Amino acid sequence: MIQINDIGRTAVIGAGSWGTALAKLLGDKGVQVGLWGRDADHIAGIRRERENRKYLPGALLPPEVEPATDLEEVVRGAGCVVMVVPSHAVRAVFERIRPLLTEKTLIVSAVKGIENDTLQTMTQVMQDTLHRSKDYRSFCLGVLSGPSFAVEVAQEQPTAVTFAATDNDAARTVQQLFSTPFFRVYTSNDVTGLELCASMKNVVAIAAGICDGLGFGLNTRAALITRGLAEITRLGVHIGAHPLTFSGLGGLGDLVLTCTGDLSRNRTVGLKLGQGKSLDQALAEMTMVAEGVKTTLSCYNLARRYGVEMPILEQTYQVLHGGKDCRQAVQELLQRSLKEEVPASMQ
C-alpha cells in the first residue's frame, strides 16, 4: 500500500467549488496538485488569475496547484486521484482515467450522489469500471464526506470530515494527506453508510428548503431533520451500513449543515420551490449543480427496490418529479397514520 511519503502529486478531477477548495487545501500544505476541468476558458481564467472566480471567488491558489484541461497530463503519475465531478459525469470521466491508474493509486470520491440508471454509489460506479478492465488490479477506493462548505474550507474555518475505506492503511494515508490544523479528518470503514448519507442529506435539504420557502418555522425544520435522519438510517441499515455512521459527521453533521446553511445549494432549490417557482426556474437561477435533484430519483427507486418506507423522500420525489404542490406534500406528511417513534421491538 502506498504511504504518505510516496504519494507525490495528487490529481483533483473537477474544478468546481469543492474541487478547487480541496486543491487549495493540499497546495497550501505543499502538495503538488493537478486540478482538472473540462472548460478551457474556465481553466485558462484560473491559471491567469490564480483564482476560481466563477465557483470560489476570493480563494487564491498557491503555486503548487496547476490547473489544466489535459486529463492524461493531470492523472498520469499521480499517487492520489480525487474525483469531484458531478455524479452524473463520474462514469464517463472515470472511464477515461482508468487506463492511467497504477495498482498503487489511491482513489478518493468527494462526489455526493447515486447514479440514476444503476442505483450505484460513486465508489460502486468506479469499482464497476475497474472490474470491467482487462488489466484490473486491486485498487483502493474510499469516500471523503462531512459537513464542509467549500468557501469555509477555503477560508480555513475549522472543519471536520470523515474518510471511509475498507483498507485501513489506505484510510490512514488519506487522513494524513488531507489533515491540516483547521481540517480534521476522521477514518471509518463504512463506505456504504457514508456514501448514502452524503447522497440522501441533499434530498432532505431540498425538503427543508421547501418548508422554509413556505414560511414554516424552526419547529418544522427540527422535525424534518430528525425524521429525515430516521429515514436515511432505515435505508442504510437495510443495505448493510453501520447504524453509528448516521449519527456521525457524514450523517447528522452533514445533514444539519445542508438543511440549515444559507450556502446549501439543495436547500436553496427547495427554498425557491416553496416560494412558488418551478423546478426549471429554480435550477436556471443556480450557478452550481444541486445534486439532490437527480439523487432524489435514485434514492426513491432504491427505497422501492428494498421496500423501505421513506415518506419524506416520497413527497420530495413527488414535488420534484411528479409536479405535486409543495403545501399539499407537507400536509400529506402530517396526515399520515400515527406511529411509534421507536418501534416496540427495539425498546
Other CB atoms within a 10 A radius of the CB of residue 223 amount to 14
State the pLDDT at residue 102: 86
Instruction: List, in order, residues 6 or more apart from 170 with CB less than 8 Å away.
Output: 1, 2, 106, 140, 142
Q: Which of 24, 112, 201, 272 is catalytic?
A: 201
pLDDT tens per residue across all 347 residues of the chain: 567 777 889 999 999 999 999 999 999 999 999 999 999 999 999 999 999 999 999 999 999 999 999 999 999 999 999 999 999 999 999 999 999 998 889 999 999 999 999 999 999 999 999 887 645 556 789 999 999 999 999 999 999 999 999 999 999 999 999 999 999 999 999 999 999 999 999 999 999 999 999 999 999 999 999 999 999 999 999 999 999 999 999 999 999 999 999 999 999 999 999 999 999 999 999 877 788 899 999 999 999 999 999 999 999 999 999 999 999 999 999 999 998 898 766 66
DSSP assignment, residue 49? H
State the pLDDT at residue 4: 75
Other CB atoms within a 10 A radius of the CB of residue 343 amount to 8
Residue 201 catalytic? yes
State the pLDDT at residue 6: 74
In the chain the domains, ranked by start, together with CATH numbers, are 4-189 (3.40.50.720), 192-336 (1.10.1040.10)
State the pLDDT at residue 227: 97
Q: Do 187 and 245 contact (CB within 8 A), yes or no?
A: no
Would you state the cell numbers that stand for residue 196, as one nine-digit string?
A: 448514502
State the pLDDT at residue 191: 97
Amino acid at 148: S
Secondary structure (DSSP) of 312-336: HHHHHHHHHHH---HHHHHHHHHTS
Would you state the cell numbers that stand for residue 314, as one nine-digit string?
A: 416520497
Q: Do 245 and 190 contact (CB within 8 A), yes or no?
A: yes
The pTM (predicted TM-score) of the whole model is: 0.94
